[in-house]
């Protein structure tokens, strides 16, 4: 009897961690990996539309050069996509805005520089909602069903990783722009603790909220990038036994916004964890947390007035009306409302972290449900806004496929600056939660 061996997957289908191991061991070259990703992009991206800019020749040349060098760091030889509101010195940064189509920054954003200096190949710029805020939507479509959104504003980054076009990509979150697309595309995402990754060189929307994160296809992928960014104690925290973990499941004060698919994913995640011996307890947040969604929106809109004033003055009616509405304070946000929102956030941060004496992580919905139909509606950030304003790290984990055949994920959160502990916890919990093939693998 002869055993039929399965062919090895194309390198583009490897996770970043798998590819990094093979490169380190000499079983894969960066050039081979980059060429495989480019072939995948050429085959799929005319339909998915995840990328705004690619320099294929430069990416191959960079990979070939890296193959001649000793390792530069954790990301050596790995491709990464960059959301096109993050500056790149050798590629346009258009912010998906018609008034910045020929913009060429003089320097890389800090996060891009860290990736390059850690050995990454900057593969290209991914599509985004205009300025990662409002105005024009990305042309990107959900790779699982082209009639649906991939989420936003990190639209292209989420779709490119979900469609196996690239192993890693940067996203950002001001409301729910990073974790929600992770759910919609069936991938993993880390929104680190606010302020732990420099935002220098990324278009600002809200100083209090903007956070740079990254997508991957496994917890190990997220941890690999976290190590490049020197997040505190990453790699030093042992992965615990699942049965030793205490997880609080939290429907949040906004549960009335949950959809059937989101409710089902949350229940499935809880059932799987309980069956694996994880100690579950329900967490009902105190009443003031019910005001956090409104507080996040107040701060986002209020700080957005300053962020878009210069563009409104320079470009006039060439700039989308959404940004003029913010600058002109169409929502009518008062200084009193801003102060109240800041004060509520500060109080809730202290109260939330005091709760962690009793558990290791909080499990919560990552999105209301499956990705909405159409490109303009990128999804509701109601299950993300509170965590963004709390400044806590969040990890999106795929969970199941909904009735429309689209992925639905969940997220786990932990106190500020406990990113390493959260990654270790996720490494224990993700294999339990992510039992189904929610991560999208397209037909070759």
- Selecting among 177, 183, 206, 367, the annotated active-site residue is 177
- Residue 173 has phi, psi (to 5 degrees) of -140, 125
Query: In the numeric block, which tokens belong to residue 17?
Result: 């961690």
Q: Is 83 annotated as catalytic?
A: yes
Contact present, 394 and 404 (Cβ < 8 Å) = no
Cα dist. 279→16, 245, 272, 355, 425 in Å? Answer: 31, 6, 11, 16, 13
Measure the CA–CA gap between 100 and 125, rounded to whole angstroms: 14
Query: In the numeric block, which tokens belong to residue 436?
Result: 């189904």
Query: In the numeric block, which tokens belong to residue 11?
Result: 């390198």
- Selecting among 36, 97, 118, 153, the annotated active-site residue is 153
Radius of gyration over every alpha carbon of the chain, rounded to an integer in angstroms: 21
**Please, what is the angle between helix 419-433 and helix 219-228, to 10°?**
160
Query: In the numeric block, which tokens belong to residue 132?
Result: 């990662």
Measure the CA–CA gap between 49 and 173, rounded to whole angstroms: 21
- Selecting among 30, 36, 49, 83, the annotated active-site residue is 83
Contact present, 180 and 151 (Cβ < 8 Å) = yes
Measure the CA–CA gap between 359 and 386, rounded to whole angstroms: 19
Contact present, 127 and 151 (Cβ < 8 Å) = no
Q: Is 153 annotated as catalytic?
A: yes
Q: Is 177 annotated as catalytic?
A: yes
Give every strand in the sheet of 407-413, ordered side by side. 51-54, 121-126, 79-83, 168-173, 211-216, 188-191, 394-401, 407-413, 361-365, 246-249, 279-282
Task: Give exposure, 65-85, as e/b (b: 16+ Cβ within 10 Å).
Answer: ebbeeeeeebbbbbbbbbbbb
Measure the CA–CA gap between 269 and 311, rounded to whole angstroms: 44
Instruction: Tell me which residues are annotated as active site.
Output: 83, 153, 177
């Amino acid at each position: 009897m002869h055993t039929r061996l399965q062919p090895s997957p194309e390198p583009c289908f490897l996770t970043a961690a798998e590819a990094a191991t093979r490169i380190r061991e000499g079983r894969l070259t960066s050039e081979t990996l980059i060429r495989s990703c480019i072939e995948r992009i050429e085959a799929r991206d005319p339909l998915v539309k995840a990328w705004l800019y690619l320099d294929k020749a430069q990416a191959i040349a960079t990979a070939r050069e890296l193959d001649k060098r000793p390792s530069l760091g954790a990301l050596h030889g790995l491709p990464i996509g960059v959301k096109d509101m993050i500056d790149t010195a050798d590629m346009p940064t258009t912010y998906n805005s018609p008034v910045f189509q020929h913009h060429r920054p003089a320097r890389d954003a800090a996060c891009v520089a860290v990736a390059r200096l850690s050995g990454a190949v900057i593969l290209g710029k991914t599509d985004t909602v205009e300025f990662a805020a409002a105005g024009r939507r990305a042309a990107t479509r959900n790779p699982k069903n082209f009639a649906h959104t991939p989420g936003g504003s990190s639209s292209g980054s989420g779709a490119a990783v979900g469609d196996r076009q690239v192993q890693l990509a940067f996203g950002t979150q001001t409301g729910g722009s990073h974790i929600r697309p992770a759910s919609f595309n069936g991938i993993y995402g880390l929104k680190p603790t606010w302020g732990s990754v420099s935002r220098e060189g990324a278009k600002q929307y809200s100083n209090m909220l903007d956070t740079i994160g990254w997508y991957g296809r496994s917890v190990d992928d997220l941890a690999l990038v976290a190590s490049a960014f020197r997040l505190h104690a990453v790699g030093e925290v042992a992965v615990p036994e699942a049965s030793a973990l205490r997880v609080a499941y939290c429907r949040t004060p906004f549960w009335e916004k949950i959809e059937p698919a989101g409710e089902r994913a949350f229940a499935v995640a809880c059932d799987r964890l309980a069956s694996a011996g994880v100690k579950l307890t329900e967490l009902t947040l105190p009443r003031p947390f019910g005001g956090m969604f409104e507080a996040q929106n107040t701060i986002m809109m209020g700080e957005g007035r300053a962020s878009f004033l210069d563009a409104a003055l320079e470009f006039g009616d060439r700039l989308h009306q959404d940004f003029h509405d913010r600058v002109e304070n169409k929502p009518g946000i008062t200084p009193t409302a801003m102060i109240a929102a800041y004060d509520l956030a500060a109080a809730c941060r202290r109260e939330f972290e005091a709760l962690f004496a009793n558990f290791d992580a909080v499990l919560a919905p990552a999105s209301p449900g499956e990705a909405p139909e159409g490109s303009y509606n990128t999804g509701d950030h109601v299950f993300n806004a509170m965590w963004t304003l709390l400044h806590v790290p969040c990890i999106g984990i795929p969970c199941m496929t909904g009735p429309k055949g689209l992925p639905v994920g969940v997220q786990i959160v932990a106190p500020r600056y406990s990113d390493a502990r959260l990654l270790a916890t996720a490494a224990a919990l993700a294999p339990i939660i992510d039992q189904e093939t929610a991560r999208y693998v397209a037909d070759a």
